Every structure is written in structure tokens, then in C-alpha cells.
Amino acid sequence: MKIYNTLTRKKEEFVPINEGKAGIYVCGPTVYDYIHIGNARPMIVFDTLRRYLEYRGYEVNYVSNFTDVDDKIIKRANEEGVDSKVISERYIEECKKDMKALNVREATVHPKATEEIPDMIKMIEELINKDYAYEVNGTVYFRTRKFRGYGKLSGKNIDDLRSGNRSLLVSGEDEKEDPLDFVLWKPKKEGEPSWESPWGDGRPGWHLECSVMSKKYIGDVIDIHAGGEDLIFPHHENEIAQSEAANDTEFARYWMHNAFLKINNEKMSKSLGNFFTVREIGEKYDLQVIRFFMLNAHYRSPLNFSADLVEASKNGLDRIKTSAEKLQEIISANKSAEMKEDEKNLVEKLPEYTEKFNAAMDDDFNTADAIAVIFELVKFINTETNEESSVEFAEKLYNVLETLCNVLGIEIKTEKELPDAEIQALIDERQAARKNKDFKRADEIRNMLLDKGIILEDTREGVRWKRA
């Protein structure tokens, strides 16, 4: 399995630190508003990375943080006249709802910056002890030049950075020893959340969060560190400097960065105002379609968001689902059980699809090529099955199609509506259970129906039901 490593600018064979295991850290969103569909791109592509590693037998520890203390959160809290915790908690919940709708699985751990402050203080103390950090009037800075490897991820030359930043040096406002130094701890300002520290009340710098949380939940060395390409500099460069200086070891072995989602060929971002939230898009399209749209491009290629491309993705996804339905129909019609001779021969071709799919994914997670293989399989299913096909044959095809789609987080199961007669039978069973004081069973039936979108209403005239 090969991964393009931003650090070495090459595709490299993935060799985990511990055989069969993978520790992945993905920088998560700052929670001050609904996430936009640009933010959804890293969530979807790295969730797919995780699913693929699991499918290939790895035990994955997937850690993705929520940045819940930040200027933007504080600004929003002040505008609404509430505590910043109200804002961050609200948008963490909303973000989780969007992730669910995009079929992005919950991380193994979703640490929050505000809950990890003691460890952040500890890392700053270590950096001060090692002379990698210093305090001036309540602010602690990282001594960037002291870290020899600075610039290795972004390919920036430290001297070029220095001349670019010279204006800061002469402004006189800055107390840093060097304009390249960045903040590890900043002092409290009126109306801002703060924590006690040896340098006075204040809060941590953004870069420090990820160094501390990845260390705590994965370890000093992590297998894969990922995020959007805008994070390469300065965020990830600074994370490397802090972590490697504090831990005396390599920080992350593979660095993966997704390219941007664009709109009219401009980067989609909050600051440019040219964004759509996942919530808005979810009103227009099934978010499965958006996930499929994102995976139709390689994660390192820029992707332009347009109604035409989303429409094309919708049609593609429908083709896959129609094929899956055809198989389901053969299975439920149950005309012949066992495979015929010609079907047995056809089944031997199935591993080829899986192998081709794996080869595409092994090549730096080329989901675009992997989807092309799924379409080849769909064509095979459509031409080689008919009403007379056996259940066994249809099941074998269905299993392969479902497995490959699942790796991409694409659901092909179409829930059939429960027929009215079956609903009535379940309601009758529930009434009987209640009569026998078997409330557990009665509740079970109510919840089962609720899962299928059937709402029960107990009235004087009896039980009424409706579809949600």
C-alpha cells in the first residue's frame, strides 16, 4: 500500500510502527459555525482512508480533534452574548450530525482542546526547560530557529521566511526574540476564556493543541497525520517543531494532505464568503451523493463544486443502487437456489474486481479509479444476471458490490417501505403484549417501528400510526 507523503514528496510503501496497527491523527474543525462542504472533504477522504485500512485488516486508532477555543468562537460568543462553551458545544453537536449524514464514522476519540489544558501546560514547561521556548510578559513563544528541521514539511527555507517577516521586527510591538517565533501560550484578555498557568491566566496556541492531543491519544510517534493542504504551513510545520523538540523523536511518519474544494475555481472558504454549509446542501441533495461526488476525484486533486458534477454523481450512484436492487429482487423472488454451471464459471471472475479495486486504493487511495472498478462490476452484474439467476449467484455478486461500496462509505441498501399489513400486525402484537403487561416487548415494537419511520399514537379510539 503506497501513500504520497508530503514530507518526502514521494509515494512510499506504508509501513506502520506496530504491525497491523495504524494511529491516524486528522486536524478537525474549529467549531464556531456549521461546517461547509470544503471542511467535509478531509472528513470524507480520511474516513475512507480509515475504512480502507480496516478492510485490509489494520486496527485503526483514529483521532480527530475539535478546536473549541479560538478567536472566532470568542467573537461569535460575544455577538450572541453567551459563553464560548455554548457556541463550541452547539457546533460540535451540529458537526456530528453532518458527519453522520455524510456517513463519516465517529473517531476513536474526538478530543477537545479545552479538556487537555494540563497536558498542554506540561509540554510548554518541557519546551522551556529545553530552551526551545521562552516567556515574555505572560506570553510563551517557541524559539523556531533553534529547531533545526524547521521548514522540512513545507519545503520553506527559514531565511526566506525571515526576510518575508522582517516588518514585524521593526514594528516595535512585538516582544518576540525573532519574528519567526510562534505562540504557545497567550495571556488572558478581558472577556475571554482562560486557564491558570505558571505564566499567568491565559490560553494555549492553536498549533500546540494537536501536538499534545496526538501524543496523548496515539503516542510520541504517529503513523499518519492528515489535514487539508492549507495546514501544511504554518500549522503542521509548527506541530513538527514542538513535538520533535519536546519528544526527541520523529513526530509523524506519513503526512497526507487533501487538495481544496473549489467553487468557480476559487477556494471555498468562510472568509471569501463563497461557501455552502453541509446543512444547506443536504436540503438539496442526499448527502450520500456529496460523499460519492468527493470520492470521484483523487484526494490530492483540486475539485470544483458545480451542480452539473453533483448531478453526474447522483446518476452514477443511482446506477450502482439500481444494480444492487436488481440483485435484491432476484434474492427475494427466490426462483432457484443453487448456482448453475455457467454461474459458477462467472463467479470465478469476481476476485478480479476486488483485486483491481484494491490495486487502485493501494496506489495512494485512488478512489476515482476504485469507483471506475465498481462501475465495471455493475456492468458485469447487469449483463450477467436476469430473472432466472440463482439466489446463490445473486448473493455472491451482492456481497462483493456491498463490500467495495462499504469501503468507500457508500450504502447501497435501499430500505423498502414496510407494507401497511405488516405494520398493523406489529401494532396488534404490541397491544397483546401490553395486555399481558409485557411492556418490554411493547416498547421494543414501538422502537422497531420508529426505526422504520413509523410513528405510533395512542388515542382513546385505539392506536393510530403515520409515516414520518
Residues that bind Zn ion (CB under 5 A): 27, 210
Q: Does 230 bind ligand AMP (CB under 6 A)?
A: yes
How many whole angstroms separate alpha carbon 193 and alpha carbon 303? 38
Residue 266: exposure state from Cβ atoms within 10 A (0-12, 13-18, ≥19): exposed
Binding to ligand AMP, residues 15-74 (CB under 6 A)? 27, 29-30, 38-39, 41-42
Partner from Zn ion, ligand AMP, none binding residue 260, C-beta < 5-8 Å depending on class: ligand AMP
Partner from ligand AMP, Zn ion, none binding residue 267, C-beta < 5-8 Å depending on class: ligand AMP
Judged by beta carbon, residue 143 or residue 298, the one nearer ligand AMP is 298
Partner from Zn ion, ligand AMP, none binding residue 261, C-beta < 5-8 Å depending on class: ligand AMP
Q: Which residues pair with 353 in a beta bridge?
A: none
Q: Which residues contact 196 (CB under 8 A, 6 or more apart)?
A: none
Q: Which of 112, 267, 298, 326 binds ligand AMP (CB under 6 A)?
A: 267
Span of 163-171, 227-235, 394-402, 446-454 interacting with ligand AMP by CB under 6 A: 227-235
Going through 112-267 in order, the beta strands assigned E by DSSP cover 133-136, 139-142, 182-187, 202-204, 222-228, 252-258, 261-263, 266-267
Under rule CB under 6 A, how many of the chain's residues touch ligand AMP? 17
For residue 359, is it left (φ>0), alpha (ψ between -120 and 50) or beta?
Answer: alpha
Q: Which residues contact 127 (CB under 8 A, 6 or more apart)?
A: 133, 142, 184, 242, 245, 246
ω into residue 234 within 30 of 0, thus cis? yes
Partner from ligand AMP, Zn ion, none binding residue 179, C-beta < 5-8 Å depending on class: none
Q: Which string of b and e fits 334-363 if b means at least 16 CB within 10 Å?
A: eeeeebeeebeebbeebeebeebbbebbbb
Q: Closest residue to ligand AMP, Cβ-based?
A: 228
CB of 239 to ligand AMP, least distance (A): 13
Binding to ligand AMP, residues 129-168 (CB under 6 A)? none
Span of 13-21, 137-145, 256-264, 320-328 interacting with ligand AMP by CB under 6 A: 256-264
Partner from Zn ion, ligand AMP, none binding residue 193, C-beta < 5-8 Å depending on class: none
Judged by beta carbon, residue 269 or residue 431, the one nearer ligand AMP is 269
Judged by beta carbon, residue 66 or residue 305, the one nearer Zn ion is 66
User: What are the residues binding ligand AMP (CB under 6 A)?
Assistant: 27, 29-30, 38-39, 41-42, 227-228, 230-231, 258, 260-261, 267-269
